[in-house]
Structure 1
Amino acid sequence: MGIERQYRWYMARMYGGKRRYLRRMARRYTALALVSCGFVAVLAAVCLIAILAHDLPPALLAAPVLLAAVPGYFFRRRRGYRYGIRGEEAVARALAALDDRHRVFSSLVLPGARGDIDHVVVGPGGVWVLETKNYAGDIACTGDRWARRRNGEWKAMERSPGRQAIDNARRLASFLEGCAVAVPVEPVVVLANSNARIRCKDPAVPVVMRGELASSLSVRKPRLNAKDIRLIAEFIRKSARLA
């Protein structure tokens, strides 16, 4: 099966489809950026007219100049969400290599939770929570501490992808206590960008490159039979929602 055909088949059976949430947020920040650009432009025009017509001090233009940072912020947020979309779609293509014994949920929101889980995979080898990151360049991970090198300097990440994966796995494990099948939930950090260069030392969570994801999940020792997989997938589908 060709990769494009595989991908279409995978997307057809994957609960949640593409990253609707990320696309929605990208559109929202695009709209906010455009509206704020228009507001700043109108304010600048009003200030300029007031300065020319009433001989007011040029310092009046400081207001629109300062406010120009607002659309810049919105455009940066938009870029971040669009970057995330590319990462999620890259992981979706990687997961297309899994056979039809696996069930995949994308953008899963558990009851009472505010945020979503990037991907949940249910298969013969167990249940996995995938935390996807589209980082590029040099990345280091020691335990649950992560850092990136930018402009030649290593800087610690404020939010640890490993910690995010662990927290989401705990939330999902607690949620699955209501299911008839008892199974541990494993957290995994997936690096979606092929340009990422990772250095790991005793990582708190397994870190997998996108290209190795399907094979790493497929080789796990079987824990669940077809009935278990179906029961877990149906429980998730009926009791949780998709962003």
Structure 2
Amino acid sequence: MGSRRGEGRQEEVRSMTTPSSLSLDQALEQLRSGEKGAAVAILRRIAHQEPGNVRALLWLGGLTPDLEEGIAALGQVLRLDPGNEAARKGLADLRSRQEAQPPPPAEEIITGEKILALAGRVIWTFKDLNRPLGKLVAEGTVTAKDLNWAVRRAYDPTIKWAAAVQIKGNDVRGISLPLRQAREVTWPFKDLNRPIGELLDEAIISLHDLAYAVANARDADVRDASAVMGVEIIRRDGTPPEGVEARKAPPVVEQAEKPSASAAPPAVEPDSGPPAGRLRVIPGSTYLVEQAERKARQRTMLGWGLVGMAFVATVSGLTPLILRMLGVAELGFGWTVAGLGLMGLAWYFLPQLNDLLSEQRNFVAGRKGEDRAARLFYRHLDERWVLFRNVDLPDNRGDIDGVLAGPRGVFALEVKAYTGYNRNIGFKWQRRVYGFWRKLDRNPSRQAKQNAARLAEFLKHRDVDVWVEPRIVWAGSGKLWLERPAVRVWQLKDTAYILEDIEKGKLVLPETVAEIEEALAR
């Protein structure tokens, strides 16, 4: 009977560990990728939803930097499975470390005065003012209109957050909130409905989002928590907090003996790093490429045809005039008019010829630029990433030059390979022509934003709800000056910035990347 009871207990433990196997796999995948904070956040959700999941509780007890949380998780394991030796040894280890620690300092209360003081010290870089925002607001140099513009359009999230705090100064002044309590406030936007702290840990939201919430949230708790968490992020130089406590404990499962196969998590190499494979490149449809090349050949043929017509028209137009001037032949007035008309026709064709040749050069340069971008991504990104080239969506509004998807975001790429001198100020794009700055016919920022919105809508209709970031890839030989760009620009010569920007992207689970690949491959 005792043997059967033991077997029944093992079956009970197995049944309790089964339902969230997929979520646990997600947590372990994040751990293998070096994303410990994201792994802990997933394990917390499993433990909350399924308090009987022994494997998830074991992993949470070993990975969480919060000693109290680890002790509670391993204590729950022992209540479910009193014979679990790994949990017993791990619990003893955590308690001994807890006793050896000095008393924790009193938790800091973030007040409205602290928030306003920090926001006031942020340097306002627009209009070459480069002075603390608080002083500029006090003297009236920066107005409410300027602050509202910064909340909507500022590229720097710190300035955006500081502007939002200044706008809501009267509401912010009354804040008095512990950091831990701010982390636990539920984020209501985009139907996420999860604690702000967890979303920051997983890089699903950022300081940009907190600034939006400070300025626009109707719920005072959300507004106040966003202001408080903004203080914490800025203090840590833009890095979202991993937790309230700075204490870090190594995973219990590494120090304790291996538990039984029914309850123990699989072995994981904590420092295994990212996979060693290469980025996968999926080319666009052969039809699109062939169609583009056919149009290029047509432009070339039409261009040479216009050259021939212009030459014939010029010769035909000049011949009557030359003969008349030399006195070789006396042609009627009608011939002179006809000659002038043919010369006018030639001059009419010349600008169109220039446009055709320019369009052809841009096509060739664009293809080369896309190839250069693909080579850069291939050299620096691993097998968790996939690059789709020349993506044609069903809305028939033109193809997207590239879609880059991986663990740190989904990016809609607008590749530009312009020559000459160009500049991008906010949302405005200009090219220098004969010493004057002239607006580009097609705005790359608008194209990138529209393509990102199109892609997000396309994926949403296929049940893939993911945020798509617009990016402009500058792959040409031309010079480019940037000033507060509305859409971030990846210049291929600045590889470090591109990789840094990618690493700061929003977390995307491997299953979501696979769903995106399936949707775009149809």
Q: Describe the shift of the 1:207–1:13 C-alpha distance in structure 2 as closer, same or farther (beyond 3 A).
A: closer
Contact 2:365 2:476 in 1 (8 A): no
Q: Residue in 2 aligned with 1:161?
A: 444
5+ unaligned residues in a row in structure 1: which ranges?
A: 1-8, 239-243
Question: Secondary structure in 1 aligned to 2:511?
Answer: helix
Pick which of 226-235 and 141-150 moved more: 141-150
| One of 296, 300, 317 as aligned partner of 1:30 | 300
Contact 2:391 2:401 in 1 (8 A): yes
Q: Deviations 1:22-71 (Å, cap 9, x if unpaired)?
A: 43332220011123334445556666788879934234233443333243
Q: Describe the shift of the 1:199–1:45 C-alpha distance in structure 2 as closer, same or farther (beyond 3 A).
A: closer
Question: Secondary structure in 1 aligned to 2:482?
Answer: strand
Contact 1:127 1:186 in 2 (8 A): yes
User: For 1:178 and 1:132, how far apart are their aligned partners in 2?
Assistant: 26
Q: Residue in 1 aligned with 2:486?
A: 204
Structure holding more helix per residue: 2
Q: Amino acid of the residue matched to residue 395 of structure 2?
A: G
TM-score, normalised via structure 2 length: 0.39
Q: Amino acid of the residue matched to residue 15 of structure 1?
A: P
Q: Residue in 2 aligned with 1:81?
A: 363
Q: CA deviation at 1:111?
A: 0.6
Q: Describe the shift of the 1:40–1:193 C-alpha distance in structure 2 as closer, same or farther (beyond 3 A).
A: closer
Contact 1:169 1:187 in 2 (8 A): yes
Q: Residue in 1 aligned with 2:399?
A: 116
Question: Secondary structure in 1 aligned to 2:284?
Answer: coil
Q: Deviations 1:78-110 (Å, cap 9, x if unpaired)?
A: 222222223222222222222222111111121
Q: Describe the shift of the 1:194–1:36 C-alpha distance in structure 2 as closer, same or farther (beyond 3 A).
A: closer
Q: Residue in 2 aligned with 1:241?
A: none
Q: Deviations 1:151-201 (Å, cap 9, x if unpaired)?
A: 433223233211110011111111111233321000001111255232222
Higher RCO (CA 8 Å, separation ≥ 6 residues)? 1
Question: Secondary structure in 1 aligned to 2:504?
Answer: coil
Q: Deviations 1:127-159 (Å, cap 9, x if unpaired)?
A: 110111113454332221122334433223233
| One of 417, 436, 439 as aligned partner of 1:134 | 417
Question: Secondary structure in 2 aligned to 1:236?
Answer: helix
User: For 1:41 and 1:152, how far apart are their aligned partners in 2?
Assistant: 31
Pick which of 40-49 and 76-85 moved more: 40-49
User: For 2:502 and 2:353, how far apart are their aligned partners in 1?
Assistant: 45
Q: Residue in 2 aligned with 1:6?
A: none
Contact 1:36 1:71 in 2 (8 A): yes
Q: Does 1:225 align with 2:509?
A: yes
Q: Describe the shift of the 1:54–1:38 C-alpha distance in structure 2 as closer, same or farther (beyond 3 A).
A: farther
Q: Describe the shift of the 1:74–1:197 C-alpha distance in structure 2 as closer, same or farther (beyond 3 A).
A: closer
| One of 220, 223, 235 as aligned partner of 2:519 | 235
User: For 1:17 and 1:214, how far apart are their aligned partners in 2?
Assistant: 27
Pick which of 161-170 and 84-93 moved more: 84-93
Q: Amino acid of the residue matched to residue 503 of structure 2?
A: V
Fraction of identical pairs, as percent: 32
Q: Residue in 1 aligned with 2:129?
A: none
User: For 2:313 and 2:419, how far apart are their aligned partners in 1?
Assistant: 39
Contact 1:95 1:214 in 2 (8 A): no
User: For 1:90 and 1:30, how far apart are their aligned partners in 2?
Assistant: 24
Q: Describe the shift of the 1:71–1:100 C-alpha distance in structure 2 as closer, same or farther (beyond 3 A).
A: same
User: For 1:163 and 1:65, how far apart are their aligned partners in 2?
Assistant: 40
Q: Describe the shift of the 1:165–1:43 C-alpha distance in structure 2 as closer, same or farther (beyond 3 A).
A: same
Q: Residue in 1 aligned with 2:457?
A: 174
Q: Residue in 1 aligned with 2:470?
A: 187
Q: Amino acid of the residue matched to residue 55 of structure 1?
A: L
User: For 1:190 and 1:178, how far apart are their aligned partners in 2?
Assistant: 27
Structure holding more strand per residue: 1
Q: Describe the shift of the 1:222–1:206 C-alpha distance in structure 2 as closer, same or farther (beyond 3 A).
A: closer
Contact 1:91 1:210 in 2 (8 A): yes
Question: Secondary structure in 2 aligned to 1:158?
Answer: coil
| One of 283, 302, 309 as aligned partner of 1:15 | 283
Q: Residue in 1 aligned with 2:390?
A: 107
Q: Does 1:94 align with 2:376?
A: yes
User: For 2:354 and 2:426, how far apart are their aligned partners in 1?
Assistant: 35
Q: Describe the shift of the 1:108–1:65 C-alpha distance in structure 2 as closer, same or farther (beyond 3 A).
A: farther
Q: Describe the shift of the 1:151–1:165 C-alpha distance in structure 2 as closer, same or farther (beyond 3 A).
A: same
Write out the 4+ residue segments of structure 1 that deviate beyond 6 Å after TM superposition.
45-54
Q: Residue in 1 aligned with 2:33?
A: none
TM-score, normalised via structure 1 length: 0.78
User: For 2:506 and 2:304, how far apart are their aligned partners in 1?
Assistant: 52
Q: Describe the shift of the 1:120–1:67 C-alpha distance in structure 2 as closer, same or farther (beyond 3 A).
A: farther
Contact 1:125 1:217 in 2 (8 A): no
Q: Does 1:58 align with 2:326?
A: no
User: For 2:477 and 2:353, how far apart are their aligned partners in 1?
Assistant: 31
Question: Secondary structure in 2 aligned to 1:96?
Answer: helix
5+ unaligned residues in a row in structure 2: which ranges?
A: 1-277, 324-328
| One of 32, 51, 67 as aligned partner of 2:345 | 67
